[in-house]
Amino acid sequence: MNCEVCGSTIYGPPKRIVLEGSRLLVCVKCSGLGEPDLKREERTLLTTQRPLGSPKPFKLGDGHLPREVEELEVADDFSRRIREAREKNKMTQLDLARAVKERLTIIRKIELGKMTPNMRLTRTLEHVLKVKLLQPRRESEIPAGKPEQSEPLLGDVIQYKKK
């Protein structure tokens, strides 16, 4: 973590100050440039004390997505699969919307292929319609070597002036 005033690396706990109306996170050397941020300290004291039995706040880890999102993706022909499964179960779009607790317009857009359902809705649709919509994610192949250029790029036609 770097000091927001001098830019050096902060070792130890950072200090919070107010400098010209701005709240900053600074190193020990720069902490004398402003006044301590007392409001921030009061808020952190209040928020760290949780009543017993209350859930811990949700933290995203170190930038990783949930395993389910990393490994699975919605099938390319999801709209056809959903429509066929709905018709096989003799359901209307309105019945399906009520079953998955979603708006009718969302179901219409999904069946037309104009919208891809999120992971929660996809799981719910799979459960209600008893159809597989998620498949393992596949990586696209990137061809090795230099791609052939069909037309010149800006860097090919630009002329530099020598000073």
> pLDDT-derived band of residue 11, with 50, 70 and 90 as boundaries?
confident
pLDDT over threshold 80, residue 51: no
Between 67 and 16, name the one with better pLDDT: 16
Same domain, 40 and 92: no
Q: What does the pLDDT average to over 27-33? A: 86
Same domain, 34 and 80: no
The answer to the question of residue 29 being in a domain is yes
| Residue 75, domain CATH | 1.10.260.40
The answer to the question of residue 156 being in a domain is no
pLDDT (0 to 100) of residue 110: 93
Share of the chain above pLDDT 90, in %: 30
The answer to the question of residue 74 being in a domain is yes
Same domain, 78 and 121: yes
Same domain, 72 and 131: yes
Least reliable range by pLDDT among 5-9, 62-66, 74-78: 62-66
The answer to the question of residue 52 being in a domain is no
pLDDT (0 to 100) of residue 4: 86
Same domain, 27 and 82: no
Average pLDDT score, the chain: 80
pLDDT (0 to 100) of residue 64: 55
Same domain, 73 and 123: yes
> How far, in Å, CA of 157 to CA of 149, rounded?
14
Same domain, 119 and 81: yes
Task: For 77, list phi and psi in degrees, rounded to 5.
Answer: -100, 35
For the residues of 129-147, what is the DSSP string, one character each? Answer: HT---EEE--PPP---SPP
Same domain, 76 and 122: yes
pLDDT (0 to 100) of residue 101: 93
Quick: pLDDT tens for 95-132. Answer: 999 999 999 999 999 999 999 998 899 999 999 999 99
> How far, in Å, CA of 64 to CA of 161, rounded?
47
Q: Domain span at residue 29?
A: 1-47
The answer to the question of residue 13 being in a domain is yes
What's the domain count of the chain? 2
Same domain, 37 and 79: no
The answer to the question of residue 161 being in a domain is no
Same domain, 39 and 80: no
pLDDT (0 to 100) of residue 67: 62
Helix (H) or strand (E) holding 79: helix 78-88
The answer to the question of residue 23 being in a domain is yes
The answer to the question of residue 102 being in a domain is yes
